[in-house]
Chains A and B, each alone.
Chain A
Amino acid sequence: MNGFVWRQPSVLPGFGLTMGFTLLYLSLLVLIPLAGMILFTAKLDWAQFWAAVTHPQVMASYRLSFGASFIAAGINAVFGVLVAWVLVRYAFPGKRIVDALVDLPFALPTAVAGIALTAIYSTTGWMGQHLEIFGIKVAYTPIGVTVAMTYIGLPFVVRTVQPVLEDLDRELEEAAACLGATRWQIIRRVILPSLLPALLTGLALAFARALGEYGSVVFIAGNMPYYTEITPLLIITKLEQYDYTGATAIGTVMLVAAFVLLLIINGLQWWASRRH
């Protein structure tokens, strides 16, 4: 009975050194700041903590932040695969430029993106004024928040799905076609299952990015309490009152919730790649 192995022996040397650096690096950049946050929160007793993180205004912001992030990640999952498909499977003039455009949301300062999106989607902007005719308001509503989150999450799905799609054997699709599969069956039974793990990773990244986004969202949100206030803004509000513990309490809730959700998505991804 030798079920648990501490470490698979490897022929490569240097495990101790590289593992040491990995832990040091992660500790300095991620673990220590996060531990500091939780330590700060620990100054509150349980009742104070609970009151701070379940205030109706804070609850309304969780609904908006998590809801809009999830919708934005979902939109990106669908259209990100589409963009990746076009970039991998077709040759067309200007393909390199389109490819580079995908990364732009990474590079542009988010405040610039926020101001630009607001300019376009407010009722005087050139998208907003047409949408207004149909009674759709984008800027200063939860829809605007979702639009900004979709924008900043766009590159994640495309960039995670693209390399997998490139490595996908076309012979598989041809074989399926020879065996009489319809196009829809090929997509559903052959292509999508191979893309699923990468797609889930992209979805998780886009979701996490949207959840933490502040710079672009505050410009388009309108920030009305109980309506379009995102959770990161409430954290800033607490800090402006020098309420450090209140701010870290909300931060801790976001951290735990995000961690659980990412864990679930990673679990799904593991399950999807095993099944395949």
Chain B
Amino acid sequence: MRTVRILLLTALLVGLATSALAQSVTLLNVSYDPTREFYREYNAAFQKHWRTQTGQNVTIRQSHGGAGSQARAVIDGLDADVVTLALAYDIDAIHERAGLIPKDWQSRLPNNSSPYTSTIVLLVRKGNPKGIKDWDDLIRPDVQVITPNPKTSGGARWNYLAAWGYALKKYGSDEEAREFVRKILANVPVLDPAARGTTNTFVQRRIGDAFIAWENEALLAIEQLGRGEYEIVVPSVSILAEPPVTVIDRNVDRKGTRQVAEAYLEYLYSPEGQRLAGKHYYRPSDPAIAKEFEAQFPDVKLFTIEDVFGGWQQAQTRHFLDGGEFDKIFDSLRR
């Protein structure tokens, strides 16, 4: 008799627990390194938004790391509901290698699925002792340049392409652009494998005169390391860096989380999501919100990777794969 009662009680408790579980859902957002602070705040905002909208509790787990290794983790079976990475090439790989998302994933959300953008700027030391004003100063033999290795760091690929695009616009030919980038790379004393390590080299080791960095990382570095120690130099022309986001279709359909995962990404485009992006030094894509942050983001002439390089696949194949332009440049710089 007593056993029956215990069984009944257990059944009741299990039933209650499952119905409570139905009231809550978990998302996994697989992202790259510099978005850590932004998504911490955005997740809290979305949780509140989703609860008022649907009454459901959503728990968001975050994973951060290098964009390439994060994409590989998803390809190898990490159960991500959404990915928010540094460049489209790594998300393309999720389609090509594992078929978890359709080929046209990037056209599913506005602005090439990039709710916020950034650009590439130069960080220099206090008072700008070497008088660095634009990309041209980086080829001077007396200037040391800090940038990570574009073969291992997604961010560094934007740096490299920004310099190449600038030279292409200025001189008009690929040969001269190659020579320009070659001169910059000849001024690089250390190639860190990842962007965060490079900040360490420039800031802690005090190596180098100019640090090529994402605008959001540069602004964050200035904020965290104290104003006045470093200055940002905005070049005349730079690249529009678009870090894209997407739902991982296979995973959300299996887990039944598509609705909340899509809402999670769409909310990035809402005024509140856009404002948080601006607060964390990403350029909002919504022009009205971007206006609120005018003072923070100087006007730069921006070109896109689509315009100048024909998209990520082409840029990657031509410049960064083994035997590409980057390897050729280093081959010619061999000591």
> Which residues of A approach B to under 8 Å, CB–CB?
55-57, 115, 118-119, 122-125, 139-140, 218-219, 222-227, 233, 236-243, 246
Contact = CB atoms under 8 A, between A and B. Distances in A.
Given A223-B191, A224-B191, A240 B330 contact: no
28 contacts: A56-B331, A115-B200, A123-B207, A124-B205, A124-B206, A124-B207, A125-B205, A139-B205, A218-B192, A219-B197, A223-B191, A223-B192, A225-B191, A225-B330, A226-B330, A226-B335, A227-B335, A233-B152, A236-B193, A239-B69, A239-B72, A240-B66, A241-B316, A241-B320, A241-B321, A241-B322, A242-B97, A243-B322
Interface string B316-335: 10001110000100110011
Contacts of A241: 151, 316, 320-322
A265 to B, nearest CB: 31
Contacts of A238: 322
A151 to B, nearest CB: 18
A244 to B, nearest CB: 9
B204 interface: yes
A212 to B, nearest CB: 16
B271 interface: no
Contacts of A125: 205
Given A240-B68, A242-B97, A224 B151 contact: no
A122 B207 contact: yes
Nearest to A52: B322
Contacts of A219: 192, 197
Counting from the closest, the 6 A-B pairs by CB-CB distance are A240-B68, A222-B190, A225-B330, A223-B191, A237-B151, A122-B205
B149 interface: yes
Given A115-B200, A119-B204, A246 B330 contact: no
B15 interface: no
B102 interface: no
Nearest to A124: B206
A240 B322 CA distance: 11
A246 to B, nearest CB: 7
Contacts of A123: 207
